[in-house]
């Protein structure tokens, strides 16, 4: 797929997980580490990605990326999913 031309996303900024991360998911260490690192970047950039202003990660208890599922990682995932659902419901409602 032409990520840059079709989606406006540069290929060097696209990351893929091997499997899901979160409650009831496989939570493979490499996938968990990628999610932890991405949340760390989001948190260090004022708490939210550019399109998420409803609830942020700025106060989330994030640990360093270790690849181990922990409380901080699960809280960040829950917060992110809450925001995504809020956006989707607002758009569909």
- What integer pLDDT is reported at residue 76 of this predicted model? 85
Q: Mapping DSSP to helix (H, G, I), strand (E, B) and coil, where does residue 9 land?
A: coil
Q: What is the mean pLDDT of the chain?
A: 75
Instruction: Give burial (CB, 10 Å; 0-12/13-18/19+) of 36.
Output: buried
Other C-beta atoms within 10 Å of 39: how many? 22
CB–CB of 73/81 below 8 Å?
no
Flag whether pLDDT at 32 surpasses 50: yes
Q: For 8-27, write each residue's pLDDT tens digit.
A: 666 666 788 999 998 899 99
Picking from 84, 79, 83, the residue whose alpha carbon sits closest to that of residue 39 is: 79
């Amino acid at each position: 797929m032409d990520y840059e031309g079709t989606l406006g996303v540069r290929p060097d900024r696209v990351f893929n997980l091997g499997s899901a991360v979160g409650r009831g998911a496989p939570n493979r260490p490499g996938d968990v580490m990628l999610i932890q690192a991405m949340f760390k970047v989001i948190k260090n950039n004022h708490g939210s990605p550019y399109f998420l202003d409803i609830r942020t990660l700025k106060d989330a208890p994030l640990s360093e990326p270790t690849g181990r599922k922990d409380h901080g990682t699960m809280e960040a995932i829950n917060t992110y999913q809450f925001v995504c659902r809020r956006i989707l419901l607002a758009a569909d409602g």
